[in-house]
Amino acid sequence: MENGNASPLRAARARLWLLRLPLPRSLTRYLGRMLFRFLLTLQGIGSFALITLGVMISRSRVARRVIRPLVFQEASRAGLRLMPMFLFMAAALGLVVIGQTVSWLTRVGAINFLGTVMVVVVVRELGPLVTALLVLARVGTANVIELGTARAMGEVEALEALGIDPVHYLVVPRVLGMALGVFALTVYLILGALFSGYLWAFVQDVPLRPGDYVRQLAGALSGLDFALLAIKTFCFGSIIALVTCYHGLAQPLRLEEVSRATVAAVAQSVIACVLLDALFIIIYLVT
């Protein structure tokens, strides 16, 4: 490794000056610089993701008894502890979707499609996306602040001084834990929403027996749905973790910059998740 690029965390530093320049008045330049900023951020997060992946693989056997408890801790933080909120969200989501669609479906005599609507809306789209955004709001923000403060307080240098890879110790458990957390929460959210959806339909006197409802759901689901749901939620979780860790860790921060980093991380995580979601819609449309 070359001297100048020895630490992966310092690679982002050279790009920083461009990000800090004030915006020019001319609109074309403004747009051009916005585009460049976008590309630089994309490049930064992309290389950070690759570094993390590399560390995850190359150090999979290093210090397992330190890293594994951390993964569980993060998974519980990004999963288990959000369960009460997600049960509430599941009930609300079921009500919203069923409440809106039932009246329309009965009017056009298409109540047989209730299960299909639930699958298309909740399983494929809303479930994963709502989960990702909620986890981002509750855990992602805390992540940036925690790591940004640690960075500003010199804890990253302290890790390096002890020969501990900061990416291995700080980033890898968060990526794994959040991917696991988003996946598990999405599954619970979807199950809860499907159940509460039926309850609301039942309350609205829709002539639909539980057996028929389940049959409709099963008919609308394909094997691909399960696979894509798993891939999608793992991607959402990793993206949120990577973007928030990148903003907290990858650049040298001072304490006063932590709030700006948090705002940027949240905005970029939302954009990244929505873009990824759009990508999956294409897959659904093609297959």
Partner 1 sequence: MTQPLPAQAAAPAIEMTNVAVGTLHDPAILVAENVNWTVRAGDYWVVGGLQGAGKSDFLMLAGGVMPPQRGQYRFFGEPMPIFEDARLKTRLRLGLVFDGGQLFNHLTVAENVALPLRYHRNLGPAETGAAVGELLACLELEPCAESLPGAVGYSWRKRAGLARALALQPEVLLADNPLGGVDPRQANWWLAFLDQLSRGHPLMQHRPVTLVVTTADFRRWKGHARQFALLRDRSLRVLGDWAQLAAANRDLVRELLTDGTQTE
Q: At a CB cut-off of 8 Å and minimum separation 6, what does 284 contact?
A: 124, 228
Number of residues that bind partner 1 (CB under 8 A): 32
From 101-109, 159-167, 187-195, 208-216, give the range in contact with partner 1 by CB under 8 A: 159-167
Amino acid making up residue 221: L
Q: Which C-beta is closer to partner 1: that of 99 or that of 252?
A: 252
Q: Is residue 52 exposed (0-12), middle (13-18) or buried (19+ Cβ within 10 Å)?
A: buried
Q: Output the CA–CA distances (angstroms, integers) from residue 121 to 127, 128, 203, 222, 246, in the order listed.
A: 8, 10, 21, 15, 32
Contact flag: residue 22 with partner 1 (CB under 8 A): no
The residue within the footprint of partner 1, chosen from 20, 25, 28, 65 (CB under 8 A), is 65
The one among 31, 39, 63, 255 contacting partner 1 by CB under 8 A: 63
Residue 114 to residue 62: CA distance in whole angstroms: 50
Output the smallest distance, CB 281 to partner 1, in A: 39
Distance CA 219, CA 216 (A): 5
Q: Is 278 in the site for partner 1 (CB under 8 A)?
A: no
Nearest to 247 by CA among 129, 149, 134, 131: 149
Our CB check for partner 1 shows the closer of 146 and 277 to be: 146
C-alpha to C-alpha distances, 108 to 47, 205, 210, nearest whole angstrom: 52, 16, 21
Choice between 86 and 169, CB closer to partner 1? 169
Rule CB under 8 A: say whether 146 interacts with partner 1.
Answer: yes
Q: Scanning residues 104 to 143, which ones bind partner 1 (CB under 8 A)?
A: none
Please state the closest distance from residue 176 (CB atom) to partner 1, in A.
17
Whether residue 15 contacts residue 44, with contact meaning beta carbons closer than 8 Å, is answered with: yes
Q: Is 39 in the site for partner 1 (CB under 8 A)?
A: no
How much of the chain is helix, strand and coil, in % rounded to 5? 85, 0, 15
142 or 191, CB closer to partner 1?
142
* DSSP notation for 26-42: SHHHHHHHHHHHHHHHH
When binding is defined by CB under 8 A, the residue of 87, 164, 191, 264 that contacts partner 1 is 164
Measured from the CB atom, the residue of 7 and 106 that comes closer to partner 1 is 7
Among 15, 51, 92, 155, binds partner 1 (CB under 8 A): 155
For position 255 contacting partner 1 by CB under 8 A, the verdict is no
- Site residues for partner 1, 166-195, by CB under 8 A, read 169
Task: Check residue 149 for interaction with partner 1 (CB under 8 A).
Answer: yes
One-letter identity of residue 3: N
C-beta of 78 vs 228, nearer to partner 1: 78
Identity (one letter) of the amino acid at 166? P
What are the residues binding partner 1 (CB under 8 A)?
Answer: 1, 3-4, 6-7, 10, 13, 58-59, 62-66, 146, 149-150, 153-155, 157-165, 169, 252, 254
